[in-house]
């Protein structure tokens, strides 16, 4: 019985799309207008993130995005001692910044919304899942350089995210030294 409970618990934890709980519905977060996937492709470093159980202990986290023959995006997330490959696509071509991503064949796709990016320095990605009277959200602040972005740019981004209802106090810096 203990083994069955452990397997069920592990399955639930792995498939949860967001990790920071909050009451009520997901905030109405806009995405990047005129998003251009080809400019977004390439390597991004995880500068800051919300807590996510699947990222406990993650260091030197980065993601590499490249096009696949079927028009989907190959997502290769890696870091010190770990790597996982996923698949992303925009189900509605009229809103290309609202992608869905999954890493396991049995997993329900999770939201991967590019809230904003300048393509050269930073990108903010957001995901939210509603569960009855609460929601679980996750966000990432990605940068093109491992050493991140200037604080004034970060706080400007935080200000916009706060205005959308994203609680930026949940961001925690990802270790990117000694990589």
| Span 69-120, pLDDT tens digits | 999 999 999 999 899 999 999 999 999 999 999 999 999 999 999 999 999 9
Q: Which whole number is the average pLDDT over 44-67?
A: 90
**Helices vs strands, H then E, count in the chain:** 3, 10
What is the value of pTM for the model shown?
0.85
The total of other beta-carbon atoms located within 10 Å of residue 15's CB is: 14
pLDDT digits (tens, 9 = 90+) for 23-42: 578 888 999 999 999 999 99
**pLDDT band at 17; cut points 50, 70, 90:** very low
Residue 177 above 50 pLDDT? yes
pLDDT in tens, 119-134: 999 999 999 888 788 7
Widest pairwise Cα distance in the chain: 53
Domains of the chain are 17-173 (2.40.128.20)
């Amino acid at each position: 019985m203990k083994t069955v409970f452990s397997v069920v618990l592990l399955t639930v934890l792995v498939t949860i799309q967001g990790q920071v709980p909050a009451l009520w519905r997901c905030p109405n977060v806009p995405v990047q207008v005129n998003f251009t996937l080809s400019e977004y492709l390439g390597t991004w470093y995880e500068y800051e993130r919300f807590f996510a159980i699947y990222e406990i202990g993650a260091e030197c986290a980065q993601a590499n995005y490249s096009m696949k023959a079927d028009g989907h995006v190959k997502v290769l997330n890696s870091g010190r001692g770990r790597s996982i490959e996923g698949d992303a696509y925009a189900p509605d071509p009229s809103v290309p910044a609202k992608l869905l991503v999954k890493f396991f064949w049995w997993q329900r796709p999770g939201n991967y919304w590019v809230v904003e990016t300048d393509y050269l320095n930073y990108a903010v990605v957001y995901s939210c899942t509603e569960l009855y009277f609460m929601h679980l959200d996750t966000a990432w602040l990605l940068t093109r350089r491992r050493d991140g972005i200037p604080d004034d740019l970060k706080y400007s981004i935080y200000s916009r995210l706060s205005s959308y209802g994203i609680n930026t106090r949940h961001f925690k810096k990802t270790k990117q030294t000694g990589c």
